[in-house]
Amino acid sequence: MPDRIKSKALKLFQEKYSDFGPTLATEKLFEIDKIKLNDETLRLWLIEKHIPYKKRKKRPHRQWRERKHHFGEMIQIDGSHHDWFEQRAPKCVLMGYVDDATGCVFARFYTYEGTMPFMDSFKRYIERHGIPQSVYLDRYSAYKAKKKQTIEDELNNVIPLSAVQKALGELSVDIIYAFSPQAKGRVERQFNTFQDRLIKEMRLKGIRTISEANMFLGWYLPIYNKRFAKEPAMPDNLHRPVPKTIDLERIFRIKTQRALRNDFTVAHENKLYQIKNNIRVDKVIVEERLNGSIEITHKGISLRFKQILIRPQIIDKRELTFKPRKVYVPPVGHPWKRPMYNGYLQKEKFAQKEKELLLTTT
């Protein structure tokens, strides 16, 4: 290899790829700078010149688990909280999907990890690949309900479910819960790879927002999967097509039961809604869509409503001018004072008799 190419490659590595590993650095040198090198050659040059470079951490020993045999048999899902934009934007979450049989990756960025990001990403996954047989999740509160059964639930054999559990149950997707991060090691290792490779790819592209990052993933992931995904042990694809009778938009909603007041109003998330339909029921369902809008239903029928933006002001009685109350004084002959009045009359009669007696004696 000519010395000028060697010196140019080392200079570019120190200026642009100092935190890259030799493998990724050789890829970028070829794609961007048109210098074709072997990763081992670059590694030996770096050692020779005593230039530090990123090395792989030694992996701890874990018991090996055989992969599933079919594509779509089990999907490992998790969210990774990280500074994905290297302070070019606020920290966010990458929702990652890894097929257990092939290692095929699907991912999308969101501002937080929760029910709505999961539903939106899972809906997008279904629209691309179909409905998987099972999903492997951690025991996060958005994925597994923490509420305990009440006595009424136990009598009715009702198990509290989260919105995610209800949605996956409607699609007949089995949920497997992991008890440790190592149990779903494939998706965890995938995040380690992306926190190295994906971050640097977005840095080179100058990506600064979540929308730009999601557009970039649409281009990046097919190339990544084509290079790193494996062939499954069995050729059958177990993803199920979405039946025409299923409305994914209606399934992926947060459905909450709320009381219908006597004035036909419903309170939800510190907002008040006026129901326009003349119905006599105790409960209605408030459904939050993925786009942030809501729908209020009863037995699957959509109800007409409007939000009450201006509520009547509550008058503070302390601010009113004080008017003394007129005290009612009953007369002497009132029944309340009758015993007293009768005693008064007896005293008068006794005094009159004494006066008359004194007059007769004198």
Q: Into how many domains does the chain fold?
A: 3
Please check the confidence at residue 338 and state whether its pLDDT lies above 80: no
- CB-neighbour burial class of residue 105 (10 A; exposed 0-12, middle 13-18, buried 19+): buried
pLDDT tier for residue 322 given thresholds of 50, 70 and 90: low
In a domain, 248, yes or no: no
Backbone angles phi, psi at 60, to 5 degrees: -70, 155
Q: What is the pLDDT of residue 142?
A: 86
User: Within a 10 A sphere around the Cβ of 228, how many other Cβ atoms?
Assistant: 13
Predicted confidence band of residue 159 (pLDDT cuts 50, 70, 90): confident
Task: Indicate whether 149 and 89 sit together in one domain.
Answer: yes
- From 79, 82, 80, 76, select the one nearest 101 (Cα to Cα): 76
Query: Under a CB-based contact definition with an 8 Å cutoff, are residues 37 and 29 in contact?
Result: yes
Assess whether 165 and 128 both reside in one domain. Answer: yes
Lowest pLDDT segment from 156-160, 180-184, 193-197, 247-251: 180-184
The pLDDT of residue 339: 60
pLDDT of residue 119: 95
* Mean pLDDT of the residues in the chain: 87
CA–CA gap between residue 178 and residue 187 (Å, rounded): 12
Q: Is residue 319 part of a domain?
A: yes
Read off the pLDDT of residues 339-355 as tens digits, 9 standing for 90 and up.
655 666 667 777 787 77
Q: Is residue 236 part of a domain?
A: no
Section 237-259 average pLDDT: 92
pLDDT value at residue 63: 61
CB 142 within 8 A of CB 254: no
Q: What's residue 168's pLDDT?
A: 94
Last residue of a domain, one of 189, 213, 228: 228
Query: How far, in Å, CA of 162 to CA of 66, rounded?
Result: 30
Could you give the CA distance from residue 100 to residue 93 in angstroms, rounded to a whole number?
A: 21
Q: Does some domain include residue 214?
A: yes
| pLDDT, tens digit, 9 for 90 and up, residues 17-31 | 888 888 888 898 998
pLDDT at 287 over 80: yes
Return the pLDDT at 296: 94
Same domain as 167, residue 97: yes
User: Tell me, what's the pLDDT at 58?
Assistant: 63
The more confidently predicted of residues 214 and 309 is: 214
Determine, yes or no, domain membership for 66.
Answer: no
Asked if residue 221 and residue 106 are part of one domain, the reply reads yes
CATH of the domain at 176: 3.30.420.10
Are 159 and 277 found together in one domain? no
> Considering the domain boundaries, does residue 53 fall inside one?
no
Confidence grade of residue 315 (pLDDT, cut at 50, 70, 90): low
Residues 192 and 100 both lie in one domain: yes
Q: CA-CA distances (angstroms) from residue 357 to 95, 343, 349? A: 113, 21, 12
Q: Are residues 208 and 258 in the same domain?
A: no
Give yes or no for residue 61 having a pLDDT over 60: no
Query: When comparing pLDDT for 131 and 158, which is higher?
Result: 131
Instruction: Evaluate whether residue 262 is within a structural domain.
Output: yes
pLDDT over 60 at 78, yes or no = yes
Output the pLDDT for position 332. 67
Same domain? 195 vs 306:
no
Regarding whether 90 and 159 lie in a shared domain, the answer is: yes
Query: Which of the listed residues 228, 262, 286 is the one where a domain comes to its end?
Result: 228
Strand order in the sheet with 174-177: 105-110, 92-99, 75-82, 134-137, 174-177
Is residue 86 domain-shared with residue 223, that is, in the same domain?
yes
Structural domain that includes position 295: 253-347
Do 81 and 222 belong to one domain? yes
What is the structure's pLDDT at 285?
Answer: 93
- pLDDT of the residue at 336: 63
Domain annotation covers residue 59: no
According to DSSP, the residues that pair with 259 across neighbouring strands are: 283
Under a CB-based contact definition with an 8 Å cutoff, are residues 287 and 255 in contact?
yes
Mean pLDDT confidence for 109-133: 95
Percent of the chain topping pLDDT 70: 90
Q: Is residue 298 domain-shared with residue 221, that is, in the same domain?
A: no
